[in-house]
Amino acid sequence: MQNAIALLKEHNLLRVIDEPLDIDLEIPHIAYIEVKKPDSRALLFTNPVSKRLDKKFSTPVLMNVFGSHKATNLFIGKDADDIAAEIEKLLKLKPPATLGEKFGMLAKLFSLKNIFPKRLSGRGACQEILHEGNSVDLYELPVLTTWSQDGGPFITMGQVYTQSLDGERKNLGMYRLQVYDKKRLGMHWQIHKDSANFFHEYKAAGKKMPVSIAIGGDPLYTWAATAPLPHGVFELLMYGFIKGESARLVKSVTNDLYVPEDADFVIEGFVDPGNTAIEGPFGDHTGYYTLEEEYPVLDVTAITHKKEPVYLATVVGKPPLEDKYMGWATERIFLPLLKTTAPDLIDYVMPENGVFHNLIIAKMKTLYPGHAKQFMHAFWGVGQMSFVKHAIFVNEDAPELEAYEDLTDYILDRVQVANIIISEGVCDALDHASNTYAYGGKLGVDCTADNVHFPQKEIIEEKDLLKLMQELDGNIKEIRQYKTYTKTPICVIAIDKQERIETVYEKLTAIKAHTKLLVFVDHDKNDLDNPYMLIWRVVNNIDAKRDIFLQKEFIGIDATNKGAIDNFPRRWPDDTDCDPDVIADLMRRGLLDVDDAFLKKFYI
């Protein structure tokens, strides 16, 4: 961490804040706003305090360490696309035909010896200070409370180390960890993750499961914890591959797990499979709160740390955030692995305001009718790609995937009902829109062919279209038209919902000559002039099987919040909104330098 801080300073990517600031809301709110700036920097808070605990901390808090493309490349150490190219070469290795090729392969394989973690004897720097027994106190760490409705303080950058019951398989993951008290943490293991699979092995055997959580050290450990590697592959292998040197590990003091010797903190303990507790709510990276659920509990047996540690944390909520940059690196590096399942894939992008799993746009080489639909099913069956809710496929002649304006025009000129597939499958456990926890609708749109031959819609003035709509339904308050020159003009409709949106959509078939794609949002929650946040809202709020309505060249999307009107069986969560009093106070103290327009732009 000290090296990381020095590197950030050297490249003018660090802002140091010496003013005493509260770990509850104040520090997270500053970091949340900073990372949304186009020139965002990492933040080092040197004087964290807790009014709730009446405590001052000697440990500084570092946030937004991956808060820009430049910082992410610095910590990865090379360009993400170059790493992807190395992986692709390995995947395409062929048996050598000549002596020269054999030596070349040996050199390549010899260079891979450093990908394997190296176990050291003795203690590491992470174990300079040891707290066991009665001296264990999680409240000695400056663990943040980010959102007003959070169930408590949460560790957000924990590297969670686990292993299978037989000790053969290792896993490094990143899961949020709720601090219940001095010695207990909530383990938010989502049901599809490797650690959850290990947990079921221990549960079946009636044994306690060892867990060690590292915080800090080389930032690449933290990124590796998020890497979507195939099931059973230890994530520290990716650390070694990128770094070109082995991760150096030491044994935990009170269990048999190995952790990076240069971590700043290590929290050790055991999970009793029979012991669960309510975890959450928690304002998560979707921009919504995830609700309370039962999760396993870690009983902490030891906390170790460096003599002068740094506490690493992140903040999650509405985009854009630090995960934008971490996810960008993941997206680039893992493209070759995705191509092994979908070999005609050219490239893909997961837009940040699509919150990653909620939207993917993929470019492919289309070889035959139905090829894109085949790809959709392939994506929905591959590892973490199986969580993707909405997938749009374009042909190789499409614009660059991040040229969003041109790409959108290309897509809208190729949308028709016949090219839409609605399926169902697993969803991310954080998804709130499906009727059933972690299972819901999937949307695939095949935009690979220019085969839309229907007449162009008869576009009329916005005020005239609004008048026509309000004559059909008086609860429509406002509309905006987008991309009216394309074959799929969009009309976003802000409504004060008094009945099911499908009923409103049916009423509006009378105006189908003037528009093609209706998108319904709540009037009191959305800015119709802010397409960035409208996309965020729409892909979060819909379940394709329930909320997409299809007639011939007339499509409706219900992106309103769901409730009793919709017979929605779950509790709909709130947005992650900053505390306005905290924001006002931070601005008064000169700790925030943004205006009201900025706060409105990102629904802060």
Q: What is the mean pLDDT of residues 468-476?
A: 98
Please check whether the domain covering 341-447 is classified as CATH 3.40.50.720.
no
pLDDT 10s digits, 248-286: 999 999 999 999 999 999 999 999 999 999 999 999 999
Residue 190: CB atoms within 10 Å: 15
Question: Angle between the 2-10 and 69-76 helix axes, to the nearest 10 degrees?
Answer: 130
Nearest to 423 by CA among 532, 548, 556, 295: 548
Residues 223, 76: contact at Cβ < 8 Å? yes
Residues 174, 158: contact at Cβ < 8 Å? yes
pTM for the full model?
0.94
Nearest to 131 by CA among 140, 143, 122: 140
Contacts of 178 (CB under 8 A, 6+ apart): 151, 152, 153, 154, 185, 186, 188, 279, 280, 282
pLDDT 10s digits, 350-383: 999 998 889 999 999 999 989 999 888 888 887 7
Nearest to 273 by CA among 344, 343, 335, 196: 196
pLDDT 10s digits, 168-212: 999 999 999 999 999 999 999 876 666 778 999 999 999 999 999
The helix (H) or strand (E) run that includes residue 331 is helix 322-333
Q: What is the mean pLDDT of residues 392-416?
A: 97
What are all long-range contacts of 405-411, with beta carbons under 8 Å and residues at least 24 apart?
407/361, 408/483, 409/483, 409/486, 410/447, 411/361, 411/445, 411/447
**For the chain, how big is the Rg over CA atoms in Å?**
25
pLDDT 10s digits, 105-121: 455 555 577 889 999 99
Residues 361, 394: contact at Cβ < 8 Å? yes
Q: How far apart are CA 305 and CA 140, in angstroms?
A: 12
Q: Over 80: is that where the pLDDT of 52 sits? A: yes
Where do you find CATH 2.30.110.10 in the chain? 2-313
Residue 95: CB atoms within 10 Å: 7
Residues 298, 184: contact at Cβ < 8 Å? yes
Q: How far apart are CA 425 and CA 296, in angstroms?
A: 25
Where do you find CATH 3.40.1670.10 in the chain? 341-447, 462-566
Q: How far apart are CA 247 and CA 109, in angstroms?
A: 18
Q: How far apart are CA 305 and CA 214, in angstroms?
A: 9
Grouping H, G, I as helix, E, B as strand and the rest as coil, residue 444 is strand
Q: Over 50: is that where the pLDDT of 58 sits? A: yes
Q: Over 50: is that where the pLDDT of 164 sits? A: yes
User: ω before 38 within 30° of 0 (cis)?
Assistant: no
Fold assignment, 2-313: Pnp Oxidase; Chain A (2.30.110)
pLDDT 10s digits, 308-350: 999 999 999 999 999 999 999 999 998 998 888 888 999 999 9
CATH number, domain 462-566: 3.40.1670.10
Q: How confident is the model at residue 222 (pLDDT cuts 50, 70, 90)?
A: very high
Cross-strand partners of 518: 491, 556
What pLDDT is stored for residue 382 in this prediction? Answer: 74
Q: Known catalytic residues?
A: 284
